[in-house]
Structures are given as structure tokens and as C-alpha cells.
């Protein structure tokens, strides 16, 4: 693996035993309208699946699978080179506090210090079909270490074998840390099933890798604003480049992807040309990585 270390590296790409350790803080100044991070690569270690590789590298599974559409996620060839989706554009309208983009399975934590924007970014698991994570503006209303899980009646109907309350420990799906949202019944928490990070697997809550929730829990305060949004299409300017990042529209909210691209292009004040065939290819492939729209075919 040959991964360069940059000041704005997005994910910590380290040895397998330390992949979920302290994620670096990114600094974007003076305004957070940029691409952060650099794409990386690694090799499959047999008999690893892409889901297991995502866990080892601390990235989300869906993002990893989308960035490598040529690979069978369950039976990738031994020793195959895998693209790591370790660069991203920031969601449109990101503000200080927590921003969760459901479309890309990522949580952004932004704060300002000495006139600069500071970021940490974490892969997440979100609500499954029928249990969608709510969108909107919320806040952190409580924090708890080693939380007990009071099983909602709706879940006990699905799984009557569950007790009314699951105590802290390895059987508790909330993991070691819980951040309560002002949306009743929803929170940001760890997990006892880390292979679910980067997937639609929860009953609406936001799941983080165990080390990531530990890091986030220590940083946020009660009252921190939380914005949950859905942006499958994101654009950013970097110097004289216009970049487009497209994720699968799993909720079917984007009726006209091309119109959304043109809308964001106008918001960014871009007056340069667009390479149409590249634009349509990026929309079609939805690989979830930033691509310059001035590339030649």
C-alpha cells in the first residue's frame, strides 16, 4: 500500500490493529467549500470480503463497494487492489456542529477555532428500509456512557424474545456511548455489530464504529446542533476545478439529477465549461468519489 500523508487527510489509513484510532482533525480555511482528503488504495487480504476490509480500514461498507464496482464484495479476487474512498466534498450548507448526510453514510463534526474550520468525519450506519432515519434540525440533549437499552415496543413486537431492558454489555446494540437527539427515540451511538457501519441496518438511529463514537462523545457537548440531511449529489470548487461526487439515491428523492447538478453549479458561481460526457458518466456510475468535470474521456 502506498498512501501519502497530507495535512487534510480524511480518514486515518493505518495498520489493521489501529484503523479506528484517533481520526485526524482537518483544517479548511477560511470557508468549508472544498474537497478534503486524498483517495487511497490497499490490497485484499484473503479470505477477506469488502465488508471485512471496510471494518479493517475504518471506512463505510457501501462507500467502499460503490468505489469498487468491478469487485464482487463477497468474493473479491485474492490480492486485488481496492480503491479506498478517503476523499470527499463537504455537504452543501454544512454548519458548526454535527451534520449527517444519509446519502453518503457519513457524519461530519465541524467547529471553528481561531478563524478556521476544523473537521472530523466518521462513517455511519443508518436506518434500514421502513425505519428511515429522520431528516431535520435537532440537538444533542443528553449523553450517557455504558447506556442501558430500553427496547421500544415496536421492536419487541418483531423480537418478542428481547427483555424490556438490555443492560450494558456485549449484547447491547447501543455499544458503550449514547448521544440522545431531540428527536424522541433517536440517538447517535456505538454498536456491538461493527460490520453494520456504512449500511442501512438500524431502526433509525445513527451507528458509529466503537472507537469513533468514543472520540465523538468526548468532543460534543449537550446542546450541540445536529442537522440530518440527504444529499446524494455534492459539488465543490477546488482552484480552477469543478468536482462532482455522486452517491446512490437510495431514497429516490432526486427526480432530475442533471438539474440538481446545474443548480449546485450556479450556487458555486461556476461559469466555466462542463465536460458533458464525464458529467453523465459520473451520474450514471454513482461511485461516491469526487471527480473533476473537465477530464477528457
pLDDT for the residue 94: 87
Active site residue 275: no
Rounded average pLDDT per 10-residue block, the chain, 297 residues:
27 31 60 73 93 94 96 94 93 90 96 84 93 95 91 77 81 92 94 93 92 95 97 89 94 94 90 87 96 69
Active site residue 189: yes
Pick from 248, 202, 253, 195: nearest CA to 229 = 253
Q: Cα 155–178–187 angle (5° rounding)?
A: 55
Distance between CA atoms of residues 237 and 33, nearest Å? 7
Task: Give pTM, 2 decimals.
Answer: 0.86
243 CB-contact burial (10 Å; exposed 0-12 / middle 13-18 / buried 19+): buried
- Report pLDDT digits (tens) over 202-225: 889 999 999 999 999 999 999 999
pLDDT for the residue 14: 27
CB 151 within 8 A of CB 162: yes
pLDDT for the residue 137: 96
Active-site annotation holder among 20, 70, 117, 189: 189
Domain residue spans of the chain: 124-229, 233-292
199 CB-contact burial (10 Å; exposed 0-12 / middle 13-18 / buried 19+): buried
pLDDT for the residue 29: 55
CB 123 within 8 A of CB 58: yes
Active-site annotation holder among 205, 247, 250, 275: 205
Q: What is the CA radius of gyration of the chain?
A: 19
pLDDT for the residue 297: 42
CATH of 124-229, one of 2.30.29.30, 3.40.640.10, 2.40.440.10, 2.40.110.10: 2.40.440.10
- Report pLDDT digits (tens) over 50-109: 999 999 999 999 999 999 999 999 999 999 999 999 999 999 888 899 999 999 999 999
pLDDT for the residue 33: 53
In this structure, how many other beta carbons lie within 10 angstroms of the beta carbon of residue 21? 13
Amino acid at each position: 500500500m502506498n498512501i501519502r500523508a497530507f495535512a487534510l487527510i480524511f480518514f486515518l489509513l493505518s495498520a489493521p490493529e489501529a484503523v479506528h484510532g484517533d481520526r485526524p482533525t482537518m483544517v479548511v480555511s477560511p470557508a468549508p467549500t472544498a474537497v478534503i482528503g486524498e483517495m487511497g488504495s490497499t490490497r485484499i487480504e484473503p479470505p477477506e470480503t469488502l465488508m471485512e476490509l471496510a471494518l479493517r480500514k475504518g471506512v463505510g461498507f457501501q462507500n467502499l463497494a460503490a468505489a469498487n464496482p468491478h469487485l464482487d464484495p463477497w468474493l473479491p479476487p485474492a490480492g486485488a487492489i481496492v480503491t479506498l474512498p478517503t476523499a470527499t466534498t463537504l455537504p452543501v450548507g454544512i454548519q458548526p456542529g454535527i451534520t449527517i448526510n444519509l446519502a453518503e453514510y457519513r457524519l461530519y463534526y465541524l467547529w471553528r477555532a481561531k478563524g478556521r474550520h476544523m473537521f472530523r468525519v466518521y462513517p455511519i450506519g443508518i436506518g434500514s428500509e421502513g425505519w428511515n432515519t429522520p431528516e431535520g434540525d435537532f440537538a444533542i440533549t443528553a449523553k450517557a456512557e455504558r447506556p442501558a437499552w430500553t427496547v421500544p415496543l415496536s421492536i419487541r413486537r418483531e423480537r418478542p424474545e428481547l427483555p424490556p431492558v438490555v443492560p450494558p454489555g456485549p449484547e447491547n446494540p447501543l455499544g458503550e456511548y449514547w448521544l440522545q437527539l431531540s428527536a424522541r427515540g433517536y440517538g447517535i451511538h456505538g454498536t456491538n455489530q461493527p460490520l453494520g457501519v456504512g449500511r442501512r441496518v438500524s431502526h433509525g438511529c445513527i451507528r458509529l464504529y466503537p472507537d469513533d463514537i468514543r472520540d465523538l462523545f468526548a468532543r460534543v457537548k449537550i446542546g450541540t446542533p445536529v442537522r440530518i440531511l440527504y444529499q446524494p449529489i455534492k459539488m465543490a470548487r477546488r482552484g480552477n476545478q469543478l468536482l462532482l461526487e455522486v452517491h446512490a439515491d437510495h431514497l429516490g428523492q432526486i427526480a432530475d439529477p442533471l438539474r440538481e447538478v446545474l443548480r449546485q453549479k450556479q450556487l458555486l458561481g461556476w461559469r466555466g465549461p462542463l465536460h458533458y460526457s464525464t458529467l453523465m458518466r459520473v451520474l450514471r456510475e454513482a461511485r461516491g468519489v469526487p471527480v473533476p468535470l473537465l477530464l477528457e474521456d
